[in-house]
Structure 1
Amino acid sequence: MSLRDNPLGELRVPLTWTAGIVFVIVMIVSVAILLSDRREAFDTDSNGNPRTLTDRLLAPVGDVLSAPGRVTGDGVRGIRGYFFAVSENQRLRAELETMAQWRNEAIALRDVNERYRAILGLKTDPPIAMATARIVTDSRGPFANSRLANAGAELGVRPGNPVMSENGLVGRVVGVTAGASRVLMLTDPASRTPVMVDRTNSRAILTGDGGPNPRLEYLRGQDPVRVGDRVVTSGDGGVFPRGLPVGVAVRGLDGQWRVVLAADKAPVDFVRILKFQDFTQLVDIPALTPAGAPPPTPGATTLPPASPTAAPVSTAPATLPARP
Structure 2
Amino acid sequence: MPLPQGTTPSYQPARWRWFLSRVLIIVLVLTGALLMVLNRSSVRFGDSLSAAALDSVAPVLSAMRAPFEWIKAASGEVESYFLVRSRNRTLEREVARLQEMESRYRTVLTENRRLKQLLGIIEPRQDVVGAARIVGSTAGSYVRSAIILRGARDGVAVGQPVRDADGLVGQVIDVGHTSARILLLTDHASRVPVRVEESNRTAIAAGMNEKELVLQFLSPGRPLKAGDRLVTSGDGGTFPPGIPVAIITNPHGPEPRALPVANPGGLDFVTILRPFVPEAIINPDLPAAADGAPQPSAPPPFPLPDKPLPGVQPAPEAQAPAGSR
With normalisation by structure 2, the TM-score equals: 0.49
With normalisation by structure 1, the TM-score equals: 0.49
Q: Which of structures 1 and 2 has the bigger CA Rg?
A: 1
